[in-house]
Amino acid sequence: MKYLVSGEQVTSASSHEDQVKFLDAAKDWVAKSKAEGKIEGAYSFVDGGGMFIVNAKDHEEVTELLLTFPLGPFSNLDIRPLLDFTRNADLTINAIKKIL
């Protein structure tokens, strides 16, 4: 399954030096997660925050992954399961046809 995980950091680290350490750790986490195929993409929003496309077998696996994200304790995250657009359109069309 694919998940859209978006969020923003809501609490800063105690110092600029600590913030740099957390950001470096987050960069390493993203690189490792991409190499393992757990993350398809990681993007920052221009005005702050960012998003990941996560590959996980189920909700528990995505939760376990995000619990290891270094900026997780400082962030509010929104997690939304994704469905392929064409598949979703086909499901919707079929449902509508059944009630016609």
Mean pLDDT by 10 residues, the chain (100 residues): 96 87 96 98 95 97 97 94 97 96
User: pTM of the entire structure?
Assistant: 0.87
C-alpha distances in angstroms, 60 versus 18, 66, 79?
Answer: 30, 10, 12
**pLDDT on residue 5:** 98
Q: Determine the pLDDT at residue 14.
A: 82
pLDDT for 47 equals 93
CA distance 5 to 14: 25
Protein fold of 2-99: Alpha-Beta Plaits (3.30.70)
What's the pLDDT score for residue 24? 96
